[in-house]
Structure 1
Amino acid sequence: MRHDEPVTTTLERRLRTEIAGDVAFDAGARALYSADASNHRRVPAGVVLPRSVDDVLATLAICAADGVAVTMRGGGTTIAGNAIGPGIVLDTSRYLNRILDVSGNQAVVEPGVVLDVLRRRIAPDGLDFGPDPSTHSRCTIGGMLGNDACGSHSVAWGTTSDNTDALDVVLADGTRLQLGANTAEEWRQKAAAPTREGRLYADLGAIVDPNLALIRTTFGQFSRQISGYPLHRLLPENGRHLARALVGTEGTCAVILGATLHLNRAPRFRALVVLGYADAVAAAAAAPEIIPHRPLTIEGIDLALVNALRARGRRPAELPAGEAWLLVEVGGSTPAEAADAAASLARLVPGAPRVVTDAAEMRSFWRVREEGAGLATRLADGSEAWPGWEDSAVPPARLADYLREFADLTERYGYQGVTYGHFGEGCVHVRLDFDLVSVAGRDKYGLFVHEAAQLIVKHGGSPSGEHGDGIARSALLADVYSPEAVALMGGFKRAFDPAAALNPGVIVDPPAVNDLIRIAYTPTVLPVNGFAYADDGGEFDRAVRRCVGVGKCRNDHTPGGVMCPSYQVTGEEKHSTRGRSRLLLEMLRGEVITDGWQSDEVAEALDGCFSCKGCLTDCPVNVDMATYKSEFLYQRYKGKLRPAVHYAMGWLPVALRGAALAPRVANAVTAFEPAARLMKKVAGIAQERSVPRFATGGTLKQRLRRRRGSAPKQPRTVLLWPDTFTNFFDPQIGEAAVEVLNAAGFAVRVPSGELCCGLTWISTGQLDVARTVARRTLDALEPHLDAGIPIVGLEPSCLANFKHDLPALLPDDPRAKKLAELSITLAGVLERDAPDWEPPQTDRPAITQVHCHQHAVLGDKPDRALAAAAGVDLTVLDSGCCGVAGNFGFEAGHYEMAQAAGERVLLPAVRAADQDTIVLADGFSCRTQIRQNTDRDAHHLAEVLAGRLRK
């Protein structure tokens, strides 16, 4: 069977029968694994997630029997297209991820171990694994071995190959080998054995020994020469190190089952020196002068990257004057030693460098650098930029000249982009605004990269400096290397994999560089958009295309951020933001997923989306999966009967008005188990979830009407938004907010009428109803909008809806934009308009759960500042989404996932909190999760402040 032929059902049946791991041949799985972080696309026949080494061996044997290709995959974060293949994709990241042993300065790991997991394990011993690509929170060791990953600190500790001591591998034919360094005698003995291993050593010896001069003058000429096969590792002077010779072969020669890694002694404390330059060329020219001072890293960024950050509404750290910068890190055994090293270096360089020793500020610098691969995909003007010529490298002394000529080349082709990278090692990352959609644009791209390859040869460089060649650059190897060197690499591949069964088309016998482009398609399904997608030219497919595959949403191993709670719980690709983006794009393409908006594969994946909006902020390119999910539901059910839960949860604000007429009766009915069980079954609500109790004693609006005459006159006026959840469930929060605002010098108004922000209809995809509700709300608020009165929201989800969703839902109504501008949190209006007000002192510890919509849209800096001013010793839980997430946690079928999300951090932290510790949660969903799963109540910050005012 040829590699491009469909795999028979017999193969699928054998795999399901003979391995314990997950086997998937359905359209959804094939779509999920059709792309990585590159520009390219190859649809596999099927996907296997092995649970053990035996599963890997069995899969290879079955595929070999049927002549089916196998492509290895870790985190799928590669930018070169070397983790996608036409046969079986073998994903080791889910299960083959154990750290088998740590002893002395070595660690033995399985290929699916995430780098940061290893680093956390060895950090208490003062150890680190030196190579640290920017994807360290989700990239796997297997992927790093495949690409010979380097990262920011290779100046100090080298590449992955430099830190690999031994490999446990299996060939495509099932031969298992233990590989490492070899003396000449050891090599001779192995080559003489009458076995498959002996033939391998003999074949490799026949390649290397007659060509020592060619290999010495062609390969391994500088540290970042990653393109091609590292044949220099087999030279006698390099220990004939067959393990290191396999690092960087991109899964084309053998399958890695385990690795013995060399660990480095890491400095305990670090400091940063930030140097400013006129441009990237000047920064590149300065980098080699710093190398002799033995820094840990020398990273370069330019103004375009900083502007891309600013365009996303983020503030970069304070930078010295200039339009390009070097970030130089030094270390020490104590904070003072690290600071002294930084100060000493700063005195030796020209200009006015900044010395940064604060850990949080250093993280802010590194976040800019590490998110470059995502930030650079959208330029400051909103245009799309792509990899392709992503990580070229030259000897550091040649970098400035190379960048100068490269700028001339891009100008001649009319490309613009963002330049950053590992300047201390001569490696440059650049994303350019290639037109990869049109045929003419792809042809132009092909001409450009071949000409860029000639330029890199001129400067003694390599098309790849750390990501490998993959589909993106393998065709350039004939431009870079002599025919004799290319022939040697072909022989190296055949010695390991004579049937070309492993990752075909990579390094050897590649397709054209502008072939297999995933961006090149004509959508078969395009909606009359429910939302405007103003930042994406009004195009839904361009919005979904924001996802370039860097995989930060797969960050389930390292604390920080909200994205992506469903992946954090399940570890399944389809439950990552990236996975859902892939499925939506394949749905639009219509080749693998052929039933458009009616696709059950897409519906299933999106059903697991919490709509938490975490990706809106945490994703480097601001993928907005909550909006895409709403759009999908809108298109899928347009003119059709919807699931019952859409009516129950979507029309909740209307139902609550009826319940408010007799709240005690409503509470009695929902507390009566038989009635509650039937009601939840009919409404599509999870049986395990309790219905929140309705407030008795009046809604918020009713209570405020009763006390209106006692409100003090104040010089400033705000409008308090009576959101559905505060109004019907927690009116005491609104009353508390009024007391706080009055104390701070504000008169408080409340809009009249039955108004709603429309969030519940938006989250269930009932966008036409949401527009009607939103317009009615805008009609009622119009006098307040015209007067410019601040609109204070207490429920983060409703306020985020005002600021983010309604302008996208009503792009032609200027009132929606005005509402977004005037909407503000309680803490925000106090900080902005009452900066001299001194809140009452609490002097108690508190833990707080930041609502995911507040994290994504509003931010919580004013809340932290207000709590601190009130004497609250605040701990902000790094808990992500609480799990309830509006309607998600109430829907049938979601309870287990919602609970698992809550149990990651939030619920254990609340249970463990001392009774004197206040539990803060401004969001109704968060308070509900806490109330229903702990013996503690959760409070809004307004309640805490008002309680102290009353005392």
Structure 2
Amino acid sequence: FFGPNTSTSNRCMIGGMVGNNSSGSTSIRYGVTRDKVLQIDGVLSDGSLVCFKELTSKEFKLKTQEQSLEGKIYASIYNELSQEQVQQEIKSQFPKPSIHRRNTGYAVDELLASDLFGGLEATINIAKLLSGSEGTLVFSTAITLQLDIVQPKESVIVASHFKSINESLKATVLAMNHELFTCELMDKVILDCTKNNREQSKNRFFIQGDPEAILMFEVSANSIEEAQNKADKLIADLDNKNFGYHHPKVIGEDIKRMFDLRKAGLGLLGNIIGDKKAVACIEDTAVDLNDLPNYIEEFTKIMDKYQQKAVYYAHAGAGELHLRPILNLKKSEDVSLFRKITTETALLVKKYGGSFSGEHGDGIVRAEFIPLMIGETNYQLLRRIKKTFDPNNIFNQGKITDAFPMDKSLRYDIDRNEPEIKTIQDFSDNQGILKLAEKCNGSGDCRKPASAGGAMCPSYRATKDEKDTTRARANTLREFLTNSEQANKFNHQELKEVFDLCLSCKACASECPSNVDVAALKSEFLYQYQEENGYSFRNSMFANNVKYNKIGSLVPGLTNLVLNTYLTKSIMGISLKRSVPKLTPKTLKAWYKKQTHSSSQKIVYVFCDEFTNFYDTDIGKDTITVLKRLGYNPTFINHSESGRSFISKGFLKEAKVIANKNVAIFKELITEQTPLVGIEPSAILTFRDEYIRLADDVNSATIISKNTFTIEEFILKEFEKGTIRTNQFSTEKKLIKIHGHCHQKALSSTHATFSILNIPKNYKPTIMNTGCCGMAGSFGYEKEHYKVSMQVGEDTLFPKIRNTSKEIEIVAAGTSCRHQIYDGTKRIAKHPITVLREALV
């Protein structure tokens, strides 16, 4: 495997890792990217092809005689580094040799290891120089890497809790004597950000109390017993020195959960509400491990001087912490602090012989400080190297040499008048829609592949186009809301294009570390744009489906026949390859009126959503049957539809009316003792999500949301209380595979589905690692979206189902999911409540 393991490893590119000599959490064991680069093939600035690889001293000298740009490069490097004065200047000014994470400027110090320049190595490789050069010297076309042997199969992480940063760093120096594989720090700021993150709050299982810092010490061995023994010795050593107050050991699958928490660090910092953000400028400094406690102590004094509460996290064991001041770069006084803090920290790093960039590269923010870090003489050497490689300065200008100033071309105009954006949804939890869009910090979690798990971002996975990512949508919206001169800042065709393939799956609401809810942004955009430009016939039909279904359900057979004709699909813009859902002969509400009602005092209000009522009546019947048989009184009352279709299509005035009606109806009824339970996830979860943004009576909407459950959540809650028992269900054996609905994953959990299907003694459910199904309500029916819809299904869901034996039950709670599964695989998936109804005894 490739040893350097960045926190962005599920989406980063090898070219990028070579460009800034990335490291990651495993660098203390496996080194940095530069250590692994064997060969770089590329194109030089004159268009000639080149291959940089390991050469003997003799081969290197022969290269210097070639009459080409490549020959000039070898000759220039040889002539420059052969000078003793140059060698001494490099050795005296570059970071200490003990600091392995070193990216300040070009790595000319690496080349001095060759016997050509007085070193001990018989070979030399210019590819080492290119590692960390940030694309300023060569255009790479192929990179050959050295792989590592996979680490021992058993690991234990000691998650030591500390009452101060300084104590944790002193403990790091001690712990590094224990052959650690990783040694990572998370401070209180990062840990606090995880508390309210839907995806990461569940990964806080190992945290006790309110520590100022947690260090993750990973030890590995070929057996779990040996790894446990190593962990115990480490803990004993820490206790002996009175370092830390709690040292839990984490093993097995829980290690991944812990690393997910750590890897989310950068994105979580973007979740800070308001204009003050954890800013990248000094986040990449590296010093000798033994200098780290004193360095951080002095750094903290700089922060205190400027009344700053900095963020400390990441690679403590490698002598590199990601340090971030929290600044508002919209304000001139904080932009001034931005420069002052960076400058003083650079001087401090120089004092300790450290590297101003350990793994992120110099880029724009640090490049202007290279002369300070390595001296003017060495800086001029770098300029000459750049000039030799790229005489016309065509590769990545303004990086490393002749750099742009760090405080120019900032994202925000300084001291600007903040735009006032009026919205129909309430975005006050983020201080407005603009600040919600601004929370995106570009960490790119939305570019992760299907193999990384989760559903974000289905459209990007299908198209592999950056414009179809969560961050593209957030940043495009931010740009227009900030700079548009139109009265309606949403009225731009470019916004329509960038939101077009958003499936409103809400994966970003939980999987994006900054919780940028693009589905909410899209619905607001659609409303604002359509108010200006009108609502299409098709969108109006889909949004008002309840009105038309009420009419159609009077003659369901004829309606179904007409809706599935070529003419209707063509007029509606529905893909001819789709089958349109069929209305049932009798609605669920009509069926319910003729049922004998339970006399049980355990009232459960069942939300009769518009999808179950018209299309999935049998599933509604199963829900009523199960609740009755288990001793409850399932109760329908007159209420409006959920409004899901109005929300998805941007008909927010209509959705707001519905939200207000339903909140008014249920606020006097729904309590902890009389909960509201729903069948279709996308419908019932509007009470937890969109109604909070839409309803006028936010307080009542919030109270209702806390006592609103999917049917799976309700049954699980009752089972855990002992009200529902295993002996009420069949002992028959059954294998089940579960596909989770996207809204269920974002706002609830597929764990509830898994757990209730474990109630029958011999049922064996497993949750499939699948992303979005691709249907997303009406999205998959629309002819221009059909192809992308099916590509999303092919990403993970369809292959897994095709490879599932016919004897294994497929379960999916979402009506769209079940329809997409059938269209894509011809397998019939069941709602989990149907499986439970079949299991009743």
Structure-1-length-normalised TM-score: 0.82
SS of residue matched to 1:632: helix
Report the CA distance between 1:404 and its aligned residue. 1.8
Contact 2:602–2:674 (Cα < 8 Å) also in 1: no
Contact 2:270–2:440 (Cα < 8 Å) also in 1: no
Aligned to 1:10: none
Does structure 1 residue 428 correspond to structure 2 residue 315? Answer: no
1:60-79 correspondence runs (5 A): none
SS of residue matched to 1:920: strand
After superposing the two structures, state which structure 1 stretch, 168-177 or 879-888, moved more.
168-177
1:121-136 correspondence runs (5 A): 128-136=1-9
Given candidates 813, 820, 832, the residue that maps to 2:717 is 832
Letter in structure 1 aligned against 2:16: G
SS of residue matched to 1:558: helix
Contact 1:219–1:231 (Cα < 8 Å) also in 2: no
Report the CA distance between 1:485 and its aligned residue. 1.9
1:858-886 CA-partner distances (Å, limit 9, x unpaired)? 12222222112224211211111111011
Aligned to 2:430: 536
Does structure 1 residue 402 correspond to structure 2 residue 301? Answer: no
Report the CA distance between 1:249 and its aligned residue. 0.7
Aligned to 1:217: 92
Contact 1:233–1:240 (Cα < 8 Å) also in 2: no
Does structure 1 residue 894 correspond to structure 2 residue 785? Answer: yes
Contact 1:526–1:540 (Cα < 8 Å) also in 2: no
Aligned to 2:443: 550
Provide the rounded CA distance (Å) in 1 between the counterparts of 2:29 and 2:587: 64
Does structure 1 residue 712 correspond to structure 2 residue 712? Answer: no
Given candidates 125, 131, 143, the residue that maps to 1:247 is 131
Given candidates 512, 516, 528, the residue that maps to 1:619 is 512
1:423-822 correspondence runs (5 A): 423-520=316-413, 527-537=421-431, 539-556=432-449, 558-590=451-483, 596-671=489-564, 676-696=565-585, 698-707=586-595, 710-753=596-639, 755-785=640-670, 789-810=674-695, 812-822=697-707
1:374-407 CA-partner distances (Å, limit 9, x unpaired)? 1122348995323222221111111111222222
Aligned to 1:227: 104
Report the CA distance between 1:624 and its aligned residue. 0.7
Report the CA distance between 1:195 and its aligned residue. 2.4
Provide the rounded CA distance (Å) in 2 between the counterparts of 1:875 and 1:588: 44
Contact 1:307–1:380 (Cα < 8 Å) also in 2: no
**Closer, same or farther in 2 for the Cα pair 1:189/1:639, shift >3 Å?**
closer
1:219-276 CA-partner distances (Å, limit 9, x unpaired)? 3521122221111122122544311011001111111111121111122412222222
Letter in structure 1 aligned against 2:135: G
Report the CA distance between 1:592 and its aligned residue. 12
Contact 1:633–1:765 (Cα < 8 Å) also in 2: yes
Provide the rounded CA distance (Å) in 2 between the counterparts of 1:639 and 1:422: 51
SS of residue matched to 1:542: helix
1:253-332 correspondence runs (5 A): 253-269=137-153, 270-313=155-198, 314-315=201-202, 316-319=204-207, 322-332=211-221
Report the CA distance between 1:354 and its aligned residue. 4.2
Provide the rounded CA distance (Å) in 2 between the counterparts of 1:136 and 1:389: 22
Report the CA distance between 1:658 and its aligned residue. 1.2
**Closer, same or farther in 2 for the Cα pair 1:624/1:334, shift >3 Å?**
same
Report the CA distance between 1:355 and its aligned residue. 5.7
SS of residue matched to 1:784: coil
**Closer, same or farther in 2 for the Cα pair 1:382/1:856, shift >3 Å?**
farther
Contact 1:342–1:355 (Cα < 8 Å) also in 2: no
Provide the rounded CA distance (Å) in 1 between the counterparts of 2:298 and 2:11: 35
Given candidates 284, 299, 316, the residue that maps to 1:391 is 284
Report the CA distance between 1:357 and its aligned residue. 5.3
Contact 1:399–1:426 (Cα < 8 Å) also in 2: yes
**Closer, same or farther in 2 for the Cα pair 1:944/1:203, shift >3 Å?**
same
Aligned to 2:260: 367
Provide the rounded CA distance (Å) in 1 between the counterparts of 2:101 and 2:511: 30
Given candidates 238, 261, 274, the residue that maps to 1:349 is 238
Report the CA distance between 1:713 and its aligned residue. 2.1
Contact 1:268–1:332 (Cα < 8 Å) also in 2: yes
Provide the rounded CA distance (Å) in 2 between the counterparts of 1:932 and 1:485: 65
SS of residue matched to 1:264: coil
Provide the rounded CA distance (Å) in 1 between the counterparts of 2:692 and 2:41: 56
Given candidates 31, 36, 46, the residue that maps to 1:173 is 46
Letter in structure 1 aligned against 2:234: L
1:730-757 CA-partner distances (Å, limit 9, x unpaired)? 112122112222233322211215x112
**Closer, same or farther in 2 for the Cα pair 1:381/1:344, shift >3 Å?**
farther
CA-based RMSD: 2.3
Contact 1:848–1:875 (Cα < 8 Å) also in 2: yes
SS of residue matched to 2:141: strand
1:398-428 CA-partner distances (Å, limit 9, x unpaired)? 1111222222222222332431110011111
SS of residue matched to 1:150: coil
Provide the rounded CA distance (Å) in 1 between the counterparts of 2:388 and 2:533: 59
Report the CA distance between 1:687 and its aligned residue. 2.3
Report the CA distance between 1:591 and its aligned residue. 7.5
Provide the rounded CA distance (Å) in 1 between the counterparts of 2:139 and 2:127: 12
1:539-580 CA-partner distances (Å, limit 9, x unpaired)? 222111111111111112523001001111111101111222
Contact 1:645–1:684 (Cα < 8 Å) also in 2: yes
Aligned to 1:99: none
Aligned to 1:946: 837
Provide the rounded CA distance (Å) in 2 between the counterparts of 1:179 and 1:639: 57
Aligned to 1:863: 753
Report the CA distance between 1:639 and its aligned residue. 4.5
Provide the rounded CA distance (Å) in 2 between the counterparts of 1:677 and 1:411: 71
Report the CA distance between 1:320 and its aligned residue. 5.4
Aligned to 1:112: none
1:733-789 CA-partner distances (Å, limit 9, x unpaired)? 122112222233322211215x11211111111111111122222232233147963
Matched residues, number: 814
Provide the rounded CA distance (Å) in 1 between the counterparts of 2:755 and 2:806: 24
Letter in structure 2 aligned against 1:137: N
After superposing the two structures, state which structure 1 stretch, 246-255 or 185-194, moved more.
185-194
Letter in structure 1 aligned against 2:680: E
Given candidates 853, 861, 869, the residue that maps to 2:743 is 853
**Closer, same or farther in 2 for the Cα pair 1:523/1:899, shift >3 Å?**
farther
Structure 1: gaps (5+ residues):
1-127
Structure-2-length-normalised TM-score: 0.93
1:109-166 CA-partner distances (Å, limit 9, x unpaired)? xxxxxxxxxxxxxxxxxxx111111000111100000000000000001110011122
Provide the rounded CA distance (Å) in 1 between the counterparts of 2:514 and 2:570: 40
Aligned to 2:734: 844
Does structure 1 residue 333 correspond to structure 2 residue 231? Answer: no
Provide the rounded CA distance (Å) in 1 between the counterparts of 2:281 and 2:592: 61
Provide the rounded CA distance (Å) in 2 between the counterparts of 1:524 and 1:621: 21
Provide the rounded CA distance (Å) in 2 between the counterparts of 1:349 and 1:756: 59
Percent identity (aligned): 29
SS of residue matched to 1:325: strand
